Amino acid sequence: MAEFIPKKGPAVIRSADSNQLSDRYRDAVLINYRFLGNVVPDVSFTLNGRTFGMPIMAGPINSKPEYAQAAADAGTVYWMGFHDAEAWKQVLALGIPAIRVYKPLADNSRLMEEIRYDTEHGALGYAMDISHGMTVYGEPDKQSEQFASKTEEDLKLLNDASPLPFFLKDVQSVHDAETAKRIGAAGIVLSGHNNRFPCSVPPLMFLPEARKTVGDDMLIFVDGGMNTGYDIFKALALGADAVLCARGLAAVFAKDGAEAMTVKLLELKAELKGAMANTGSPDLKHISPDSVRVPKYY
């Protein structure tokens, strides 16, 4: 009997590649420079009462403590994926400001145990990449442990398990953004999770609607090819509080090492500062939506 064997990884056909769709949208947004009455801007960013040098964080892609340290050396926050528990403990022991992104494990008690550890050992916050509940072929996802599509009740339990800020990563819909707000999450990360699902709405396209949905009290972070300070400026002008950069930093780290990654982050910060200084944006709270234009054909 003929059988369809699910392929590993995302179901990519070129026209449906969500990374490409996101890149195209982001590149189509343009910056409206404004040259009169400008000042040197303040690009510092505050998260959970701590002030960081830039609103550009190292996204979850690499679990090496040296990678985490490279982010800290640039004056910013590091996000780590779920799998390497030992590396995560080392990162916390080093005092690096870090947020762990949990997979949506079916077993809530396992998650509660890990969140308790984070709370007692100085994590900056915790998160969940919600797009890992189901596979692209419609079955509950599973890696070393069983995952599940989380319910609002699950998420409320996890949010209430710690005073640390909780973030839902991979939000792409009003439904999930509203759920995040109702459970009392500190924020959401708009992300296509590296083309996990085909044909997904570019994070920057969804961003203004997401901001309208959650209001001004919740944090919104965005990722997806945030590889120049100008990309980052566009995200901030469209309503984000900060961005995550994953593949761009991981590539620099892999090729040229930790110091080069720190320099890359400082370069992104300098470019962002330049974009802010030349658009009448004295600080992150005063970047006007009028500073960018989205072409009418979108």
List the interface residues with ligand FMN, window 26-65 (CB under 6 A).
59-61
Task: Answer yes or no whether residue 118 interacts with ligand FMN by CB under 6 A.
Answer: no
Distance of closest approach, residue 242 Cβ to ligand FMN, in angstroms: 13
Which CB atom, from 129 or from 279, has the smaller least distance to ligand FMN? 129
Separation CA 177–CA 197 (nearest Å): 18
User: Residue 96 Cβ, how far from ligand FMN at the closest point, in Å?
Assistant: 17
# of chain residues touching ligand FMN (CB under 6 A): 19
Rounded to a whole number of angstroms, the minimum distance from the CB of residue 23 to ligand FMN is: 9
Instruction: Identify the CA nearest to 129 among candidates 223, 48, 7, 56.
Output: 223
Q: How far is the CB of 195 from ligand FMN (least distance, A)?
A: 8
Minimum CB distance to ligand FMN smaller for 82 or for 206? 82
9: region left, alpha or beta (phi > 0 left; psi from -120 to 50 alpha): left
Q: How far apart are CA 191 and CA 22, in angstroms?
A: 10
Give the residue among 186, 158, 172 at the shortest CA–CA distance from 224: 172
Candidate residues 10, 81, 97, 229; the one interacting with ligand FMN per rule CB under 6 A: 81
The residue from 188, 246, 272, 275 that contacts ligand FMN (CB under 6 A) is 246
Question: Does 185 help bind ligand FMN (rule: CB under 6 A)?
Answer: no
Which CB, 52 or 280, lies closer to ligand FMN?
52
Q: Tell me which residue of 12, 113, 56 sits closest to 271, measured CA to CA.
A: 56
The strand ranges marked E within the chain are: 30-31, 45-47, 50-52, 56-58, 78-80, 98-102, 125-129, 166-171, 187-190, 219-222, 242-245, 292-293
CA distance 268 to 243: 11
Binding site for ligand FMN (CB under 6 A): 59-61, 81-82, 101, 129, 169, 191, 193-194, 223-226, 245-248
